[in-house]
Copies of this chain bind each other. A is one copy, B any other.
């Protein structure tokens, strides 16, 4: 394993310290228990948005803290759930009279720990569960995993909270975004978790994993390498079967890199996905291309589609000021 680190044990804290210094105009770092919070206090009465999960998916979630998005994020060790005490401390820190909304990706440890924190928290709180990975059947095992659609949920609900929507409305909006969003990915290589020191899975030089999870979880199908246009066809078709966008429907198209795939390939995938929807009369009205929900050093990418309406579009366009997404302010 070759990584730019000092030791597996100190990796997370050293990285978070760097993040907090580099973005010291936006965030602050609490080291024990570990969370990152927005530097500027939010408006009194604003719903406090908190997310978190295992590290290794940066910029998700810490890169999404700031005006118009999250109030705090709780990072676990790499690919390991954060603990309830982190969530509780973060919630008590940033709660400002509007209650707390947890945005939780659907993984057993995350779900359980956010539930425990929710029970211990003595202020109004609720959760939105993100489960946008349509490579998995809806009711199998733990159900669908939360993947790159999380960025879309956090941006839209973040804008709504900033606009003054209350806790119930933010939760309902978040669940509507989840229902309107579907993702599917493809891996060309595995990632290597520092504590493990070797690739999470083996894959041959001529194989790809369709429907891979963002921790290297087994996908839907292991096949031989095919052209990008055929890959996009497969991913977009699965998404289409799920969301069934009507002709004329406005959508947000998000092409997300897993970490080691260059932008030149991500924009090529975007071009193909755009063609796919265009040929069906579906209008790509908003776009996001880049590395947002990563899997350490995995090569690969995912496609996410969100069905838009005027309200969701307005919240997507609203100003955001975070380390990883910034516009309108």
Contact = CB atoms under 8 A, between A and B. Distances in A.
Contact of A22 (B3, B270, B326): B270
Residue among A189, A208, A228, A268 with the highest chain B CB neighbour number at 10 A: A268
Interface string A108-140: 000000000000000000000000000000000
A308 interface: no
Contacts of A14: 268, 271-272
A274 B24 CA distance: 13
Interface residues of A, number: 61
Interface stretch (A52-60, A88-96, A161-169, A176-184): A52-60
Contacts of A18: 266-272, 274, 289
B11 A264 contact: yes
Task: Classify the secondary structure of A's interface with B.
Answer: mixed
A240 interface: no
B265 A5 contact: yes
B297 A4 contact: no
Interface in A213-234: 225, 227-229, 231
A262 B269 CA distance: 21
B56 A17 contact: no
Interface string A57-101: 011000100000000000000100000000000000000000000
Contacts of A266: 4, 18
Contacts of A12: 264
A296 interface: yes
Nearest to A19: B267
Given A259-B260, A272-B14, A3 B265 contact: yes
A268 B4 contact: yes
Interface of A: 2-7, 11-12, 14-19, 21-23, 55-56, 58-59, 63, 78, 186, 188-189, 205-206, 208, 225, 227-229, 231, 259-272, 274, 284, 287, 289, 291, 294, 296-297, 299-301, 326-327
